[in-house]
Structure 1
Amino acid sequence: MSKIIVFSKEGFEGRTAEFKNSVHNLEEKGFNDAISSVKVIGAPWVAYYGKNFTGKQRVFEEGEYATLEDKEKFSSLRMITDDLDNPEITLFEHINYQGRKVTLHQETNLQEIDFSDIASSHKVKGGVWVLYEHINRQGDQLVAFPGEEVPSYLPFCFNDVVSYVRPLLPKP
């Protein structure tokens, strides 16, 4: 069974709660803006800075996170239950799917294919993708789900900043 265990203090200390389903509003669970460490068992989770899966995002895959650089900022949690097989995303240079495009099936440093810091929209055919502001999985993240079509990154403050992308992979 997949679950996320959250703690109010670093190092898995303080108040704790365990969730086996997505949580639209952590305030109702007494954990809004109060998470400082996390343990994930099974499926990956996305933590959102806003309620109802809105705002900035951060992916947590199976493992233990004793210290969070952006601690205490999360307001909702979403368990990833999507099919992670056959990942495919198409990034577009301009909003509304215009300009140059590149279709990817694997983890890619966009600097290596001359597509860094220019993507403005995307379409996801398969898998769940994490788009990063900087290379080496660094900086802000934007999570893209199967079937999703995002005509503009402007509402996410992510326009022309994507430098690295990777699909979340299924467990062997």
Structure 2
Amino acid sequence: MASDHQASKQQAAGSKIVIFEQENFQGRCHELNATCHNLKEAGLEKVGSILVYSGPWVGYEQPNCKGEQFVFEKGEYPRWDAWTNSRRSDCVWAFRPVKVVSRMLWGLLGRRDGDSQDHKIVLYENPSFTGKKIEIIDDDVPSFYAHGYQEKVSSVRVQSGTWVGYQYPGYRGYQYLFEKGDYKDSADFGAQQPQIQSVRRIRDMQWHQRGAFHPAS
């Protein structure tokens, strides 16, 4: 029977992203199949456009996987505003593949569909998982307000799946990657302010041909 680690290794082995210096996939380029802590060491001076052949991936504003986060799924990103609308920075200097164990891979793990939810996340008002909370299971939520939750988000517990949270409704603003585990305060997920107002699931589009996320134009 395959393990979670083996399934993650199989997915990572198939991860592929190509970084171009110029917009619209022009200029020098560099292909990645694994974590890159500093694109400058690969000989690139800037990032103008990105092609994701298989993923997903997360990019970082600063080397060594620090700073603002940008989530990339399978598809084309011809210029910087295709992957962010936070307006704070157009720099991306580090990348790593995101581990996603999809429902289709459960067969490799010897699991039945009823063993657990595909995606489950709980977001809490206060640090250390206290205060009011909103629990989301196998769904994308473009607005917490529409679900009656108007509080800040200071801690997060991901029980299954991989998620991306956004500062504002409609999947806008700063992005925060949530992988399985506990985030006791907003600093743990890289937020300067405890503000998340929408969240969605991340899927490996190599396996999920339907349900791909398409950012609004």
TM-score by length of 2: 0.72
Q: Deviations over 1:69-90 (max 9, x none)?
A: 2675112101112324411111
- 1:151 aligns to 2:184 (yes or no): yes
Alpha carbons of structure 1 residues 158 and 113: separation in structure 2 relative to 1, 3 Å: farther
* C-alpha distance in 2 between matches for 1:25 and 1:117: 37
Query: Sequence identity, in percent?
Result: 28
| Between structures 1 and 2, the one with greater strand share | 1
Determine the structure 2 residue equivalent to 1:80.
Answer: 98
| Shift, 1:117, TM fit | 5.2
* C-alpha distance in 1 between matches for 2:201 and 2:80: 22
Extract unaligned runs of 5+ from structure 2. 1-13, 104-117, 209-217
* C-alpha distance in 1 between matches for 2:56 and 2:201: 12
* C-alpha distance in 2 between matches for 1:76 and 1:84: 25
| Shift, 1:24, TM fit | 1.9
Determine the structure 2 residue equivalent to 1:120.
Answer: 154
Determine the structure 2 residue equivalent to 1:111.
Answer: 145
Task: Describe how 1:1-172 pairs up with structure 2 within 5 A.
Answer: 1-31=14-44, 34-69=46-81, 72-85=90-103, 86-105=118-137, 106-108=139-141, 109-116=143-150, 118-147=152-181, 149-154=182-187, 156-170=190-204, 171-172=207-208
* C-alpha distance in 1 between matches for 2:101 and 2:75: 20
Residues 176 and 191, structure 2, Cα contact 8 Å, conserved in 1? no
The root-mean-square deviation of aligned C-alpha atoms, in Å, is 1.9
Structure 1 runs of 4+ with >6 Å offset: none
Number of residue-to-residue matches in the alignment = 170
Residues 84 and 128, structure 1, Cα contact 8 Å, conserved in 2? no
Secondary structure, counterpart of 2:24 in structure 1 = coil
TM-score by length of 1: 0.89
* C-alpha distance in 1 between matches for 2:151 and 2:68: 18
Range with greater deviation from structure 2 (55-64 or 116-125)? 116-125
Range with greater deviation from structure 2 (79-88 or 60-69)? 79-88
| Between structures 1 and 2, the one with greater helix share | 2
Residues 124 and 146, structure 1, Cα contact 8 Å, conserved in 2? yes
* C-alpha distance in 2 between matches for 1:38 and 1:116: 35
* C-alpha distance in 2 between matches for 1:4 and 1:87: 25
